[in-house]
């Protein structure tokens, strides 16, 4: 009989703490629904006490998610716990996740508390959270650098007052697999009531060892893995959900554990997270990277053609990558279009489907074949958007080796049509200058990237920008066969997000 592990996804909380990866409430809700389809056991929806926007996002998620434990993060203060409970109290299975640092380094310099004070704070917090829900998790922040006997003592104490999960995180990615495994084994052996709680692991990737440490922790006896999609998170990121799931699936004889993840949803979920956060998945990323199932070397190609298992240890279809590429075009119908989107893992409401279908038809008039990547770009440009404070109506750019780059732009600004023109050092700079002057923005352009969505001369171009204003960082995305138009769309999308975040702050950016 194989043991089943709990997959605790923290993309919506720890993953969102990646610099510049803030999500608005609508984006968080869409991702939460996809995580539910993916089959995670628990999702950490956010940190309600951190901001009013995060509180509202967690509350909305708790109200719609039915088949997953919805978790809210909390410090040990009563105020934090009260806000966490208010945000998740209507969830089908709510969990309060309490944390406090337990390493001597953190206790002295960050908390300015001694061990007895930290112990009392943890006990009081768990006991108080228990008055709201039986599902309480306790985390010892910086656990991998904590005194092992103090860990046993604090775990025993919080379990005694009601913690049902205790988490021993490698908060700064410092541990090596063998020492992390040894620490967990010690805690299991020397915590008398450890059998009354689930032991969890939460590893960061500062030394590139997050997945290795998590697998070592599971092998040592932990039965919950805290992970994020694409491994996003603070600094170098968290343990990647897809790497853990496929490691257990591929090497099950070595580590006979199971989980409830629907593996065919892994790739669509990865793409959705990348689309929402604007954080591209590196090409050589394990499992979901563009090169994960690509073969260029002749000897590899020859082997794969004869038997895919020669150089592929898993089938791409397992994670939701289909070798059957249905091509849409201008003659495709709405039903086929909807079926295709559902096959890709996207479920849209009627209004969203109608808007995207029109965009697909317009694009099909410009390029012959509409591939999966084109549809995902349109999704990012059309569906995952905030209300339009600014809308692009017209763009004309004059540029060349013998001309001064000039952009003429017509915008709808808060319902009113306006037109202006400006110069720049290049066509995109001219377009950005015109838009900035018309909207009155003083934002700073932190990042600009262009990506060809598919191959071919008529490929759809996708532009990603990151803008900063008033200490808020916002992502902007735009897609169009014309790269200058795509750039203008991305810049305006970013300005709309800035306007939205200024009115509905989710969290000040790092």
C-alpha distances out from residue 256 to 5, 115, 214, 251, 350, Å: 10, 38, 15, 8, 43
Going from N- to C-terminal start, the domains of the chain cover 3-277, 294-319, 325-383, 390-503
- Residue by residue, pLDDT tens for the chain (510 residues) are 359 999 999 999 998 877 667 787 888 999 999 999 999 999 999 999 998 889 999 999 999 999 999 999 999 999 999 999 999 999 999 999 999 999 999 999 999 999 999 999 999 999 999 999 999 999 999 999 999 999 999 999 999 999 999 999 999 999 999 999 999 999 999 999 999 999 999 999 999 999 999 999 999 999 999 999 999 999 999 999 999 999 999 999 999 999 999 999 999 999 899 888 888 888 889 998 877 776 545 555 556 456 766 767 788 888 887 654 556 777 788 887 888 887 776 778 888 888 888 888 888 887 777 777 778 778 776 666 678 899 999 999 999 888 899 999 999 998 899 999 999 999 999 999 999 999 999 899 998 988 876 666 667 788 989 898 888 888 888 888 899 999 999 999 999 988 887 776 544 332
State the number of CA atoms in the 13 A half-sphere of 276 facing the CB.
26
Contact status, residue 170 vs residue 180, Cβ threshold 8 Å: yes
CA angle, 205 then 208 then 214, to 5°: 65
DSSP for 16-84, please give it.
Answer: GGSTT----HHHHHHHHHHHHHHT-SEEEEE-GGG-HHHHHHHHHHHHH--SSEEEEEE-SSHHHHHHH
Tell me if 48 sits within 8 A of 310, measured CB to CB: no
Question: For residue 106, how many other CB atoms are within 10 A of its CB?
Answer: 20
Q: How far is residue 476's CA from residue 486's CA, in Å, rounded to a whole number? A: 11
Architecture of the 3-277 domain: Alpha-Beta Barrel (3.20)
Homologous superfamily, domain 390-503: Alpha-isopropylmalate synthase LeuA, regulatory domain (3.30.160.270)
- The count of C-alpha atoms lying within 13 angstroms of the C-alpha of 372, restricted to the half-sphere facing its C-beta, is 19
Sign for the CA dihedral angle at 386, 475, 329, 336 comes to negative
Burial bucket for residue 363 (CB in 10 Å: 0-12, 13-18, 19+): buried
Residue 64 φ then ψ, to 5°: -115, -25
HEC string for 417-448: EEEEEEECCCHHHHHHHHHHHHHCCCCEEEEE
């Amino acid at each position: 009989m194989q043991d089943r592990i709990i997959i605790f996804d923290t993309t919506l909380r720890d993953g969102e703490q990646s610099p510049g990866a803030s999500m608005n409430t609508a984006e968080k809700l869409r991702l939460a629904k996809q995580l539910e389809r993916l089959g995670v056991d628990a999702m950490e929806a956010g940190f309600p006490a951190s901001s009013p926007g995060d509180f509202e996002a967690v509350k909305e998620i708790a109200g719609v998610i039915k088949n997953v434990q919805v978790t809210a993060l909390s410090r040990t203060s009563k105020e934090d716990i009260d806000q966490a409970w208010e945000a998740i109290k209507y969830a089908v299975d709510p969990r309060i996740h309490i944390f406090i640092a337990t390493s001597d380094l953190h206790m002295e310099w960050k908390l300015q508390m001694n061990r007895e004070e930290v112990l009392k704070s943890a006990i009081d917090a768990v006991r108080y959270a228990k008055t709201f829900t039986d599902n309480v998790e306790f985390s010892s922040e910086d656990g991998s650098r904590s005194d092992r006997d103090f860990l046993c003592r604090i775990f025993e104490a919080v379990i005694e007052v009601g913690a049902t999960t205790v988490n021993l995180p490698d908060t700064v990615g410092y541990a090596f697999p063998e020492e992390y495994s040894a620490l967990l084994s010690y805690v299991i052996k020397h915590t008398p009531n450890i059998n009354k709680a689930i032991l969890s692991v939460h590893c960061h990737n500062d030394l590139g060892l997050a997945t290795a440490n998590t697998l070592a922790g599971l092998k040592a006896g932990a039965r919950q893995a805290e992970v994020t999609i694409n491994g996003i998170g603070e600094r170098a990121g968290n343990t990647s959900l897809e790497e853990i799931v496929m490691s257990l699936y591929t090497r099950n004889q070595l580590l006979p554990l199971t989980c409830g993840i629907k593996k065919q949803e892994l790739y669509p979920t990865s793409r959705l997270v990348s689309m929402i956060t604007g954080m591209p998945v590196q090409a050589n990323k394990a499992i979901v990277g563009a090169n994960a199932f690509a073969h260029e070397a002749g000897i590899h190609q020859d082997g794969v053609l004869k038997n895919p298992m020669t150089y592929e240890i898993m089938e791409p279809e397992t994670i939701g990558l289909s070798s059957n590429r249905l091509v849409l075009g201008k003659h495709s119908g709405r039903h086929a279009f909807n079926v295709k989107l559902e096959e890709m893992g996207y479920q849209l409401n009627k209004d969203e489907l109608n808007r995207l279908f029109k965009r697909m038809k317009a694009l099909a008039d410009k390029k012959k074949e509409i591939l999966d990547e084109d549809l995902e770009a349109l999704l990012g440009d059309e569906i995952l958007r905030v209300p339009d404070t600014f809308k692009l109506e017209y763009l004309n750019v004059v540029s060349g080796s013998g001309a001064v780059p000039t952009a003429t732009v017509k915008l709808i600004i808060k319902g009113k049509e306006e037109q202006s023109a400006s110069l720049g050092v290049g066509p995109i700079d001219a377009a950005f200058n015109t838009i900035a002057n018309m909207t009155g923005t003083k934002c700073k352009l932190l990042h600009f990237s262009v990506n060809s969505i598919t191959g071919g001369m008529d490929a759809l171009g996708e532009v990603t920008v990151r803008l900063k204003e008033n200490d808020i960082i916002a992502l902007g995305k735009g897609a169009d066969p014309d790269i200058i138009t795509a750039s203008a769309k991305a810049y305006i999308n970013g300005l709309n997000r800035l306007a939205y975040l200024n009115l509905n702050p989710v969290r000040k950016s790092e």
